[in-house]
Amino acid sequence: MEKVMIKGEKIVISRMNDPSQQFVFELSYPRINKYLYDIDPFTFMMDEKGKILEDEIIFYNNPFNDNDAVNYKEVYKSEKVYKSFEININKMPKEVQAISLVMSVYCKNRNKDNKPLFVEFDLEVINKTQRSTLFSSVDNFDVMRYKTFVLGEIYKYRNSWKYNAVKQEMDDELMKVLRKMYQIKIFK
């Protein structure tokens, strides 16, 4: 039975010399047309000082980086939306110490309609080499209220890469959250 991550839980996803270093983080959530909302996942690759290169912020408008370490894909089906990052740790630039997975929540009627709208979204993390599910998680939050959801972070710890299920919903916009949480600096 696959592992279901809870808030704050940490798990080793790979040792430094493991041959299997490719992972797919796939998010899915229902598509409800009545309220036009959407959830956009971003990955921010940062060094130990929070330095982030603009070109290495991966999302719908920049779906991959130069060294192909992270690839983003999205599929909109009639009932459900699937968005995934394929992360190849072997190709990660050496200076990258952590990868933050954050979601920006767009809601067209946020300022007009204050009724809560809870959306459940699933995360499934697959070890691509072993073709097995490493872990999954289910979250549920009010897209009318929250503008950002910090899903988790992949980070280097001694000779491992670990995943921390942060699962934190925030009222602030994504960039403000990142500046507060990680003191990031964006460089061209």
Partner 1 sequence: MNRKECLDLMMEYFKPESAINYLKNPDFELKSHIFYYRDIFKDIEEIKILRISSKNSSDNIVFDVYYVSQEFDGLFHGYFRIKPETEMAEKLFENISKVATDLGQYFYYVYKNSEILKIYLISGNLENALAHCKNKDFQQNFVEIKKATQLEIAKFSTQSLKTILLRRELLEKYITNFIKMNSKCSDRVKMFLINLLSSKYAGHICLIPKRAEIKNFIQVTTEQVFFNDNLSIPIYGLLDYAVNYNCVLFVKLDFDFKGGEAIGKGND
| Smaller CB separation from partner 1, 33 or 159 | 33
DSSP 64-90: B-TT-SEEEEEEE-SSEEEEEEEEEGG
Figure out which of the listed residues 88, 97, 179, 181 binds partner 1, where binding follows CB under 8 A.
Answer: 179
Q: What minimum distance in Å lies between the beta carbon of 2 and partner 1?
A: 29
Number of H helices and E strands in the chain, helices first, is: 1, 15
Residue 186 binding partner 1, by CB under 8 A: yes
| Smaller CB separation from partner 1, 50 or 152 | 50
Residue 76 binding partner 1, by CB under 8 A: yes
The angle at the Cα of 179, spanning 26 to 47, to the nearest 5 degrees, equals: 70
Between CA 150 and CA 174 the distance in angstroms is 9
Residue 111 binding partner 1, by CB under 8 A: yes
Query: CB under 8 A: which stretch of 4-12, 51-59, 95-103, 156-164 binds partner 1?
Result: 51-59
Three-class SS state of 112: coil
Residue 184 binding partner 1, by CB under 8 A: yes
Between CA 16 and CA 18 the distance in angstroms is 6
Figure out which of the listed residues 3, 15, 80, 108 binds partner 1, where binding follows CB under 8 A.
Answer: 108
**160 CB burial (10 A radius; 0-12, 13-18, 19+):** middle
Residue 56 binding partner 1, by CB under 8 A: no
Site for partner 1, rule CB under 8 A: 38, 40, 50-52, 54, 57, 60-64, 76, 104, 106, 108, 111, 172-179, 183-188
